[in-house]
Amino acid sequence: MKTLLIVVVIAILVRIGLRLLRQYSKSHPSTGPKRQLRPWQVKLSTVWVFFVVSLKRLFRDRLALFFTFLFPLIFLFVFGSLSHSGQISLRVALINESHTVFAKDFANNAQKDKVLNISKTITTMQQAKQSMDRGQIDSIIELPPNFGELKDGIPTGQAIIHYTANNSQAEQALSSVLQSQFSSINARFVKANTTPLKVVSKQSNTHSLNSFDYTFTGMLGFAILGAGIFGPMNVFPELKKMGILRRLHTTPLRVWQFFMSNMLGQAVTGLMSLTIMLIIAITVFHLKIVGNLAELAVFLILGIFLILGIGLALGGWAKNERQVAPLGNIIVFPMMFLTGVFFPRFLMPQWLQSITTYMPLTPVIDGARLILTEGKSILNLGPQLAIMGVWLIIIYAIAFRVFRWE
């Protein structure tokens, strides 16, 4: 809550400062001769003017404010609450490396245990560690080669629990369950103060992803998708209907200037929306940030520019809302359900994962997840940046080609 309070105070101070600056500029008008601007400065000044206009239009439109800021937050609270119930789920993998009869019997009995949700598809330690890093399981029970060996007719050995740095709570619960089972087994063979069967735990150096990590980065993608596509898709046909774009076409304004002003405006409002979501995720759902926030901001701006190109192409091509709505839904809904917005892509069949890897929104969500929760640098996101770069060229080439002023 301290972070949220600081952000609110900063926002209030910035607003007061801007208001004082406007009052000062009105009371102290410039009386000196104005400096002649160069042609490139005139073009950039035009971009700046329309950037300010787009921001003002957004903040005066209540419907746009709702879909830019509140709508993603509603989904964040809904899916965040579902994935952050606070209950310990003992989803584990059992890797039996021992060939003793006792180890085989123990593994078979563990599969029937209602407390332990043991995966039947994970059979190797490599698969188990990969699943644990992804958050598919919470811990790994390893039965080493000497587990269950008989000494004086008594089975001995140690079961090793593997867990990640951010999943110690599940490790404690699993360790307690196994130790309770071993205590009852030990009591059948030896005195109570002797423990031939033991449980030891080993922490991995990596941080696994829990369900909220996937939920939050998916919601970031959902916010970018909604603002980048639905904004221009709804606004541009309305401006054409009102004749505003037709009047702008009679001015020296060029298409690239109009696009650039919208890109800058969307980048600012998009980062504001994503920042609010990040603050809520940290304060309410206790999101653990591993990566660099500055690199995350740069990467998300690239993602906003990419997805905005789709909205510019749709809105610039359509003559009215009825024409753009069906095509927009055909593009938006597959990206909602196939790129990792609402559930992880690794749950899909392998052939579908291979196809969805190359969808425009997929590298945005995957890259944000790698930076935010795994601490990757933006320089390590070569595959994601390459896919985004190709799509940027294709999408904006189409957007410039199909744009119509009326």
Mind listing the pLDDT tens digit for each residue in 164-212? 766 666 667 777 777 777 777 777 766 555 556 566 666 655 555 566 7
Q: What is the mean pLDDT of residues 370-394?
A: 90
CA distance 323 to 231: 15
pLDDT above 80: residue 307: yes
Check residue 390 and give its pLDDT: 95
Closest CA to 365 of 312, 296, 310, 283: 296
Q: Which residue has the higher pLDDT, 70 or 7?
A: 70
Categorize the per-residue pLDDT at 385 as very low, low, confident or very high, splitting at 50, 70 and 90: very high
DSSP secondary structure, 91-152, as one string: EEEEEE---SHHHHHHHHHHHH-SS-EE-SS--SHHHHHHHHHHTS-SEEEEE-TTTTEEET
Mind listing the pLDDT tens digit for each residue in 328-375? 888 888 888 888 887 778 778 888 888 889 999 999 999 998 888 778
H or E segment at 221? helix 211-225
Check residue 16 and give its pLDDT: 57
What structural domains and CATH numbers belong to the chain?
41-83+210-402 (no CATH), 91-203 (3.40.1710.10)
Mind listing the pLDDT tens digit for each residue in 65-118? 777 778 788 878 777 776 655 444 578 888 888 888 888 888 888 887 766 778
Q: Which residue has the higher pLDDT, 81 or 248?
A: 248
Closest CA to 212 of 220, 204, 223: 220
Vertex 75, ends 70 and 76: CA angle to 5°? 90
Whole-model pTM: value is 0.64
% of the chain exceeding 90 in pLDDT? 7
Cβ contact 365:387 at 8 Å: no
Q: What is the mean pLDDT of residues 47-55?
A: 79
Lowest mean pLDDT among 35-39, 195-199, 265-269: 195-199
Check residue 362 and give its pLDDT: 92
CA distance 171 to 186: 22
